[in-house]
Amino acid sequence: MRPSDWPDRMGPQDPVKQLFDRVFERRPARHASSDDPTAVTRQWVPAVDIKEEAHRFLVYVDAPGVVPRAVEVYMDQGTLVIKGERKTESQENRESFTRVERRHGAFHRCFALPASADPHRITVTARDGILTIIVRKRPDHASRYIQIAKVSADEPAYGATPFDAPWRMA
């Protein structure tokens, strides 16, 4: 029995059936928008590699046939968002093909990056069908090494601070 032969006993609201349909892409999601990164579609999704270096993150996106100016890259609340579209041939040209295997359409990828990623220092370049996104890291001003001072046995452990006063219950 193939999945498409399964009877629809539970109706369209059955969560198990909806999950099965999404996993096996039997039907596209009905209420999915292009802004929903969890939407399962039958369209293509470009492969992505992410590499972290000392001062930056490198994101490589395999996007042959995508016009670089048509790709939108931005960061929103620590999430790197990449949107774009690979256009299909016109219907007249498509009918002359004997076989069509390349996928076309819109894509939407989202990746959570650490807080060290600087949303104001992102550059995108394209070469040979590969988009290279460089997300630079913020300068590390927040952390620093603090050395503990040694105190001799003759000196009081604490200096004269307001906290040295005797404590009383109010």
CATH number for the domain including 66?
2.60.40.790
The amino acid occupying position 133 is I
Nearest residue to 109 via CA among 67, 62, 65 = 62
Structural domain includes residue 164: no
Residue 66 lies in a domain: yes
Does some domain include residue 153? no
| Within-domain flag for 152 | no
Q: Is residue 111 part of a domain?
A: yes
Which residue, among 123, 129, 30, has the nearest Cα to 84 in the 3D structure? 129
Q: Are 40 and 28 in contact (CB under 8 A)?
A: yes
85 assigned to some structural domain: yes
More confident position, 56 or 21: 56
Quick one: pLDDT at residue 155?
64
User: What does each C-alpha distance from 35 to 41, 56, 152 come to in angstroms?
Assistant: 13, 26, 63
Q: pLDDT class for 49, splitting at 50, 70, 90?
A: very high
Residue 116 domain-assigned (yes or no): yes
Share of the chain above pLDDT 70, in %: 59
**Residue 124, domain extent:** 44-139
Mean pLDDT throughout 82-98? Answer: 74
Highest mean pLDDT among 6-20, 31-45, 65-79, 132-146: 65-79
The residue among 101, 105, 121 whose CA lies nearest residue 113 is: 121
- pTM value? 0.56
Judge whether 128 lies within some domain.
yes
Total domains in the chain come to 1
Whether pLDDT at 128 is above 60: yes
Closest CA to 72 of 114, 109, 112: 109
Residue 34 pLDDT = 45
Q: How confident is the model at residue 118 (pLDDT cuts 50, 70, 90)?
A: very high
